[in-house]
Amino acid sequence: MTAEVEAKAAATASVAWLVVANKPIYPLYVWWFVGSGTAVAWATALSAPLFLAIALSAARRPLAARVALPLVGAADTVFATVLFGPASGTELFFVPCLLLAIAAFSAHEGRWARRLVAVLFVTFVIAHATIGATIGSGFAPWTAVETAHLREINVFAVASLSAFVGWRFSGTGRDA
């Protein structure tokens, strides 16, 4: 395994660990800032074992971990959008998934990155076109004001996670 692949695998693991650490905290954010719907928010923790598996396997199976993280993130994003509805801003988590699909691969692994970006984009388009039309406002009992608070939480979380991905992957390339 090259030093570049090791660095990208380590960066992938650290992003997965960050997500694992935040899964049990997210419902507390919802409770604190929104005031209701925490039971629905706890359902987002169901994906924590998948992120944990990625974090634990990244050193042994770096390619699998680097491919899995944006895909699991996208599935988690779709699940959260179904739970909370599109107005919650959870669809925005596709942004860090796309960043991972690009940053986790080196120049000679461009095929992986392009395929993942295509899969993630098609997934986003399908989810965006269908979730609001079929699910509506999700399963949480939020008012418009509460949904706006949730959207603010998610916008901040997406920006924070995207910044962490950029920071963590900077310097992991060949020329670093």
Q: Is the pLDDT confidence value at 122 over 90? A: yes
Report angle CA 51, 103, 76 to the nearest 5 degrees: 30
pLDDT range class, residue 174, cuts 50, 70, 90: low
Q: What is the pLDDT of residues 23-59, one digit of tens each?
A: 999 999 888 888 888 888 899 999 999 999 999 999 9
Which of 61, 126, 73 minimizes the C-alpha distance to 100?
73
3-state helix, strand, coil in the chain (%, to 5): 80, 0, 20
pLDDT at 68: 98
pLDDT at 175: 52
Q: State residue 166 phi and psi, 5-degree precision.
A: -60, -45
Count of CB atoms situated within 10 Å of the CB of 111 = 9
Hey, what are 3's tokens? 């030093």
pLDDT at 142: 83
Q: Is the pLDDT confidence value at 87 over 80? A: yes
**Section 81-96 average pLDDT:** 94
Q: Is the pLDDT confidence value at 143 over 70? A: yes
Residues 138 and 95: their CA atoms lie apart, in Å, by 21
> What's the full length of the chain, in residues?
176
pLDDT at 36: 80
Which of 156, 139, 141, 135 minimizes the C-alpha distance to 34?
141
pLDDT range class, residue 136, cuts 50, 70, 90: low
> Which is more confident, 140 or 121?
121
**The pTM is what?**
0.93
